[in-house]
Amino acid sequence: MRNISRLSKIRVTKMITLMLIMTVVMSTIAGCGKTKEAEVVTEPETVEVTEAVADNNTEQESVSTEVEPTPEVTPSEEVTQEESSEELTVDMTKVKAFDAPKTMYAMSNVNVRKGPSTDYESLGMLKLGETIDAIGQDADGWYQIKYKNEVAFASDDYLSDTAPALFATDAAITDAATAAATPVIPAAPAAAEAVTPAKTVTAPAGVLFIGDSRCVKMRDAVGGGGCSWICKEAKGYNWFESTALPQADECIGKGTKVVIALGVNDVGNVNNYAALVNYKAAEWAARGAKTYYVSVNPVWENPWVTEEQVEAFNASIVGQLVGVRWIDTHSYLMSSGYNLVDGMHFDDATSIKIFQAIVGSLR
């Protein structure tokens, strides 16, 4: 029994020892396996991650060089926009107030605006002959006025402190006026006559045109036509007196033919035009120059002037001109035909036609 018990203890001991040895071996093998796996897997993963990051960086750099950033509003642009809005604010430091209101007359239909330029919104319109109280004047000449209980502005080009002339329209006065001047009515062309191309239209040397937007249109249509031009859009008597005449005086001499085509923008200034043109014509004649006045040509429906007012202007001024040759292109167009593009301005073909008629009358 003792031998059996001892044998059993030995077997149990061996079994326990064997199990301990197997446990150690398995642990060792497991540890070695993990180490090798780490050596095999970890290094490639590290390389792959590094390459992936590098590839991502490369792609980002490529995108950043090819795609332009979305433009943003810069501070300078914001300032520009602010300055633009400030331009529509009236600088009252440039407006000189009158000691007392002045009664002004509209010499044509003229816009009333919120500020002293055409950039400002229109509040309404003064009709030819309408009176208004001016309470000040801007540095650029625009009158500050009282309009429908508001303070507004109107261009000094179309306001005057003298009432516009009363236009004579009856046949007897018209005939007398026509006889008083030296009219030149261009002969109407034959029906089949074609308009001469602008590049071939020329005038005698020394021709000077002074006029408004219709004159600008004519100048452009004929490519200058070999003439000198002092003309500007939307201008009338005030511009003629203050700006055009000083420029003209610098270039008028012996042999100069001065052609004046003004009045459609301020028909109410007819008496002022006549008086000033007569004065300058006498002065220029002493230099050896000749002066011509071109009739205001026909208009269609427009907000500024009527055909009846145009005809009255022509009838009035022709009777007042002294020492000035009258070129009646109005009658010429009425008999031969014309085309207007907006009720006020002629198309190129008609502008060339008018130019040819004027040039043919210079003698």
Beta bridge partners of 182: 325
User: Which CATH class name applies to 171-360?
Assistant: alpha beta
Positions in the chain whose pLDDT score sits under 70: 1-14, 23-87, 166-204
Q: What is the pLDDT of residue 20?
A: 72
Q: What is the pLDDT of residue 273?
A: 97
Q: Which two tokens stand for residue 56?
A: 């991502």
Q: What is the pLDDT of residue 281?
A: 97
Please state the CATH superfamily assignment of the domain spanning residues 92-160 in this structure: SH3 Domains (2.30.30.40)
The predicted-structure confidence for 15-29, as pLDDT tens digits, reads as follows 777 777 776 656 655
Say if pTM beats, i.e. exceeds, 0.75. no
Sole residue written with tokens 């590290």? 46
Nearest-angstrom CA–CA distance, 260 and 240: 10
The Cβ-side half-sphere exposure at 205, using a 13 Å CA radius, reads: 3
Q: Give Cα 304 to chain centroid, integer Å.
A: 20
The predicted-structure confidence for 54-76, as pLDDT tens digits, reads as follows 444 444 444 344 444 544 444 43
Q: What is the pLDDT of residue 163?
A: 87
What residue segments make up the domains of the chain, in order of their start? Answer: 1-69, 92-160, 171-360
CB 361 within 8 A of CB 205: no
